[in-house]
Amino acid sequence: MDAPALAVNTELAAALSLGGGRRRGFRWGRLLLIVAALAFLAAFLLLPLLVVFAQALSKGVSVYLAAVSDPVAWAAIKLTLLVAAIAVPMNLVFGVAAAWAITKFEFRGKSTLITLIDLPFAVSPVIAGLTYVLIFGARGWFGPYLQEHDIHVVFAVPGIVLATVFVTFPFVARELIPVMQALGKDDEETALSLGASGWQTFWQVTLPNIRWGLLYGVLLCNARAMGEFGAVSVVSGHIRGLTNTMPLHVEILYNEYNYAAAFAVASLLALLALLTLAAKSILEWRQPELRNGARLLREKTLRGKP
């Protein structure tokens, strides 16, 4: 091998080793970041979850089953599911309508509407609950009228539903607004120009485009609807077997030093949350072209409109 070729080779080797060194440093950095993230997740998410299940089963399966199948606990579970089943669809419809209006039309008071949607995030849930007591309570604005007609709102299921709807109000709309803003109006306008009706455009074009954002919004909304404590606590009146939701029931059991039963019900609540997440993952995994769509959408959102 002659001298120039050798020199080139040495240079090449130096360049390679330099690159290698840099890459090695990068690898360490990456490893460190991953470990830090995992450790954080383990300490703040996984550990509490495990503790919930461990405590729930600490006195054996029979105690667990007894706590869960106790008629009062069962009533709380049913009430929680009922409230979520009413509040989530309501906010689903409202959220889609609000996001649609905000992103596809120009009108006066748009910024006010956006601010109002955020209100439940800004206001303490306890205050939300109190306002419902003040409006619908026995000595509230509509109290006398409601009493006359024998309608129970506060300290009954309607009050709990109202408080839950208020607290979970922003989730769907907040999730959808950026997604729909990034999508723009072109798809809808194309569909209309091809002869589709407004209804067909919504079901066949808009809804598929926003389905992942919508799903996330609904999941968040559902998790909060089932887990809400503050607002519901104020309007519920804590009547056992009648107006106690799962979180309220957990608190009562806990205050009675009945730890195993408290954690048993808590574990059910956690299980419901895990199930919804699992359902979402399976859906996503089953439909690769939709995942593809979601990825594109993310890219589009990051890049901004071309």
Residues at the contact surface with another protein, assessed by CB under 8 A? 186-187, 189-197, 200, 204-205, 208-209, 289-290, 292-293, 296-297, 305-306
Closer to another protein at the Cβ: 67 or 191? Answer: 191
Closer to another protein at the Cβ: 2 or 186? Answer: 186
Closer to another protein at the Cβ: 93 or 194? Answer: 194
Closer to another protein at the Cβ: 230 or 293? Answer: 293
Closer to another protein at the Cβ: 4 or 306? Answer: 306
| Least distance to another protein, CB of residue 268, Å | 36
151: left (phi over 0), alpha (psi -120 to 50) or beta: beta
| Least distance to another protein, CB of residue 207, Å | 10
As to burial, measured by CB atoms within 10 angstroms (0-12 exposed, 13-18 middle, 19+ buried), residue 24 is exposed
| Least distance to another protein, CB of residue 88, Å | 24
- For residue 124 the two structure tokens come to 């303490």
User: Do residues 44 and 119 make contact, with C-beta atoms less than 8 angstroms apart?
Assistant: no
| Least distance to another protein, CB of residue 209, Å | 7
Closer to another protein at the Cβ: 69 or 200? Answer: 200
| Least distance to another protein, CB of residue 302, Å | 15
Tokens 């299940």 locate to 53
| Least distance to another protein, CB of residue 191, Å | 7
Q: Cα–Cα distance between 174 and 113 in angstroms, integer? A: 12
As to burial, measured by CB atoms within 10 angstroms (0-12 exposed, 13-18 middle, 19+ buried), residue 14 is exposed
As to burial, measured by CB atoms within 10 angstroms (0-12 exposed, 13-18 middle, 19+ buried), residue 167 is buried
Closer to another protein at the Cβ: 178 or 208? Answer: 208
Give how far the C-alpha of residue 176 lies from the chain's centroid of Cα atoms, to the nearest Å. 12
User: Do residues 213 and 92 make contact, with C-beta atoms less than 8 angstroms apart?
Assistant: no
- For residue 157 the two structure tokens come to 């299921």
Closer to another protein at the Cβ: 71 or 306? Answer: 306
∠ CA(108), CA(114), CA(120), 5° rounding? 140
Strands (E), the chain: none
Tokens 């939709």 locate to 290
Contacts of 7 (CB under 8 A, 6+ apart): none
